[in-house]
């Protein structure tokens, strides 16, 4: 059998998502900007998806901008904020464990004359509120912190971080990368004080190339894609209606019986951790002194002492087990994980770590197959290394 345990990289679309996308591509294929019946039908799919998204966030539909996914949403949030608020301050803050789609735009902001500050985290990947409080200044324009780390599943206390940042400087704009959090947690941005929030569709069984950015009403950002003025001028270009319709359906489905879904994910996570830690030379990252529910329900970062992660990954793939050696979006870059370095993982384990990640479609049988595969290949690889 196969065990697909790389769901933090991407998920399989729900059958209902596939069906609505085929409907839009084959029958309701109009341009939503067209004023004839076909166009109005297409526009209806876009409107419905936005309403579905807004319903999960308890926000206004006008606070949602549809995008091509998490990377675009993050770029729009960071660069769009900088362009729209150039006189408000030139200091921007993030952490050392953010995704490349945050770090790279921060690099661009530095090229634009902004001062970027990258804050350290503790051994579990948490940004401590006092560290952020000390960093925030009068000229701090923006703070960006991911809610769930994509490599090890650390969960940040966003509400507390927002509170300390805005107590120090009420004008700070707070952005949250919720790409690994949305669908796993019920997130109401206004209750948490979030100004901007990025989400990607293909992490929640929606299509690749779909996502959205939440922009709190009253927050100023400038568009970074210009053209025909779609989405109130905030994101020009003909809307990808099939993907948007699929995203809306995925959003609807992922939050049905949500508590039961999350409880089941934690059970799978515990099953995997119990099996892995029973093996010699295997350690779990980012859970030191924490209860399981203080970490994300779907991500396990495991280090295999003495075995290169790429070697282990390919050995498991031959057994039909599919995992990741880090962030899939950075798989073409061979650098060792900055996240693992930031939490103090020993140097000898930096290149010996794999990420296992679940979805609501994952099964106990997949976890058991993965554990059997690890138990099989680990001693074989260690014997090879010793030779």
Quick: pLDDT tens for 251-282: 999 999 999 999 999 999 999 999 999 999 99
Tokens, residue 379: 């001693």
Mean pLDDT, the chain, rounded, equals 95
Active site includes 329? yes
Q: Is the confidence at residue 328, as pLDDT, over 50?
A: no
Residue 385 is predicted with a pLDDT of 64
Q: What is the pLDDT of residues 151-199, one digit of tens each?
A: 999 999 999 999 999 999 999 999 999 999 999 999 999 999 999 999 9
At the topology level, CATH places domain 15-254 in 3.40.640
Domains 3-11+258-386 and 15-254 share a fold: no
Burial class (CB in 10 A: 0-12, 13-18, 19+), 309: buried
C-alpha pair distances (Å), 68 with each of 62, 184, 296: 18, 21, 25
Torsion of CA 176, 235, 211, 29, to 10 degrees: 170
Q: Helices then strands (H, E): number in the chain?
A: 13, 12
Q: How many CB atoms sit inside 10 A of residue 32's CB? A: 19
Q: Is the confidence at residue 216, as pLDDT, over 60?
A: yes
Sign of CA dihedral 213, 217, 221, 227: positive
Q: Which residues fall within 8 angstroms of residue 286, CB to CB, at 6 or more apart?
A: 124, 125, 149, 152, 153, 154, 295, 301, 343
Per-domain boundaries in the chain? 3-11+258-386, 15-254
Q: Which of 84, 88, 328, 329 is catalytic?
A: 329
What CATH number matches the domain at 3-11+258-386, 3.90.320.10, 1.20.140.10, 1.10.3720.10, 3.90.1150.10? 3.90.1150.10
Tokens, residue 192: 């948490």
Q: Is the confidence at residue 304, as pLDDT, over 80?
A: yes
Q: What is the pLDDT of residues 9-42, one digit of tens each?
A: 999 999 999 999 999 999 999 999 999 999 999 9
């Amino acid at each position: 059998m196969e065990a697909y345990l790389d769901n933090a990289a991407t998920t399989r679309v729900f059958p209902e998502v596939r069906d609505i996308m085929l409907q839009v591509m084959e029958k309701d294929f109009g341009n939503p900007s067209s004023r004839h019946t076909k166009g109005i039908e297409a526009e209806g799919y876009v409107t419905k998806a936005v309403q579905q998204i807004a319903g999960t966030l308890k926000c206004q539909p006008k606070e949602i901008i549809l995008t091509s996914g998490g990377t675009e949403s993050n770029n729009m949030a960071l660069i769009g904020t900088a362009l729209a608020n150039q006189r408000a301050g030139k200091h921007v803050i993030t952490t050392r464990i953010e995704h490349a789609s945050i770090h790279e735009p921060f690099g661009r902001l530095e090229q634009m004359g902004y001062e970027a500050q990258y804050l350290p985290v503790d051994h579990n990947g948490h940004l401590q509120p006092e560290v952020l409080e000390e960093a925030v200044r009068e000229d701090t324009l923006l703070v960006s912190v991911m809610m769930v780390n994509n490599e090890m599943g650390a969960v940040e206390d966003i509400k507390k971080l927002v509170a300390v940042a805005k107590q120090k400087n009420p004008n700070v704009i707070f952005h949250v990368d919720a790409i690994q959090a949305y669908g796993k947690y019920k997130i109401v941005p206004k209750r948490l004080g979030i100004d901007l929030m990025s989400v990607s569709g293909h992490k929640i069984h929606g299509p690749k190339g779909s996502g959205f950015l939440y922009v709190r009403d009253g927050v100023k950002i400038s568009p970074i894609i210009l053209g025909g003025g779609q989405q109130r001028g905030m994101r020009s270009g003909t809307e990808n209606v099939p993907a948007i319709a699929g995203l809306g359906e995925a959003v609807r489905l992922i939050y049905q019986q949500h508590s039961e879904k999350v409880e089941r994910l934690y059970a799978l996570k515990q099953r995997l951790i119990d099996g892995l830690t029973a093996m010699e030379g295997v350690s779990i990252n980012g859970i030191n002194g924490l209860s399981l529910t203080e970490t994300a329900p779907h991500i396990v970062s495991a280090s295999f002492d003495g075995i290169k992660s790429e070697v282990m990954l390919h050995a498991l793939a031959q057994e039909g087990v599919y995992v990741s050696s880090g962030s899939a979006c950075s798989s073409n870059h061979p650098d060792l994980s900055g996240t693992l370095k930031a939490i103090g993982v020993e140097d000898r384990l930096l290149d010996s770590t794999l990420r296992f990640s679940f979805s609501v479609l994952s099964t106990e049988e997949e976890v058991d197959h993965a554990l059997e595969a690890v138990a099989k290949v680990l001693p074989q690889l260690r014997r090879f290394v010793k030779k």
